[in-house]
Amino acid sequence: MVLVSALLAALSVQAVVAAPAFDKAIPPRGCGNHPSLRQVTKAEQTFKQKLGAQGISTLSDDTTGETKRISLPPVLPLTTSYIDYSAIIPVQWHVIEAGSDIGQGHISEEMIHASIDVLNKAYAPAQLTYELEGFKYITNATWFNELGPETDVQTQAKEALRVGDAATLNVYTVGFASGAGAGLLGYATFPSSYKDAPKDDGVVIRYSSVPGGSMANYNLGQTLTHEVGHWLGLYHTFQGGCSGQGDSVDDTPAEASPAFGCPTGRDTCNSDDKPDPIHNFMDYTYDSCMDQFSPGQIVRLKAQIATFRGIGQLSPTESPSGTKDPVRL
């Protein structure tokens, strides 16, 4: 999308196991991450300041509110040369269930491991590896049904369960049956939010979206890939629509609204000559339609986690050869 930074700015976001059908209704993909323009602006300013303190330049909005971008005086441009590192991210998985049946959220250990396999395939181009450090089952019907964004139920559950530091990925599987989370497939916190709310940090997904789950079109594990993208600092590809700073990544085409299904050739913005990024993990299409992060998203997410999560280090190295095409799996 329209460039705000070459990497760019951010918020301060297989083995298949058979399972019986247990979701009565299959809603379209829904994610609970919808930061306001004010929240995005504040987060981007914080990110920019932290990069600047390291002598790394970005691009900035102009003061007129137009889509045009103006560059700051160059220091050291943030490019792939800064994020040429690999990292292992520990995962703590919390299976919140209403009972011992799969229809009550009791996903199997095999499903959890299959989810980690999906993550590792998706993030291999970013040189990120996820390792399951631990998992446990928690029977609490209230948490399972009512846990959602910015709720007392979420606070209670996460304060009781979350472990590790900013670099530890905590995953919670729930039912999203009622309350603020009703109908969601997932939501996550952004890297820049950790400092002010460390216990809130993590990813929450619907239990039936894991590999082998019953949620038709959304049961290949890509809901976790999508939400972890937020946890690493990525916005939706349709963030901001056709104008403004968009998702703060310059190689994802502008998109007016989320795409559902797998609408080949969809193009909702006339501001560019590129089709919508329907195959991007940060859109809303079917799991089977998602297969890529762009090179710019990879640069951004690695700079985000190095800046806010202490994962990796931003240090210039010889820039590796790359491609302008999206990284396909």
Long-range contacts of 39-44 (CB under 8 A, 24+ apart): 39/11, 40/11, 40/235, 40/239, 40/240, 40/245, 42/12, 43/9, 43/10, 43/11, 43/12, 43/190, 43/192, 44/4, 44/5, 44/9, 44/10, 44/11, 44/245, 44/248
SS3 call for 208? helix
What number of other Cβ atoms are within 10 A of residue 182's Cβ?
14
Rounded distance, CA 41 to CA 33, Å? 15
Amino acid (one-letter) located at 293: F
Q: Is 227 a catalytic residue?
A: yes
The token pair that represents 272 in the structure block: 């560019």
Residue-wise over 95-134: b if at least 16 C-beta within 10 A, else e? bbbbeeebbbbbbeeebbbbbbbbbeebbebbebebebee
Rounded distance, CA 234 to CA 226, Å? 9
- Tell me which residue of 216, 184, 177, 207 sits closest to 108, measured CA to CA: 207
* C-beta separation of 301 from 125 below 8 A: no
- Tell me which residue of 211, 255, 254, 182 sits closest to 107, measured CA to CA: 211
The token pair that represents 181 in the structure block: 């989370």
Rounded distance, CA 84 to CA 299, Å? 9
Q: Which of 97, 146, 227, 255 is catalytic?
A: 227
Q: Which residues are catalytic?
A: 227
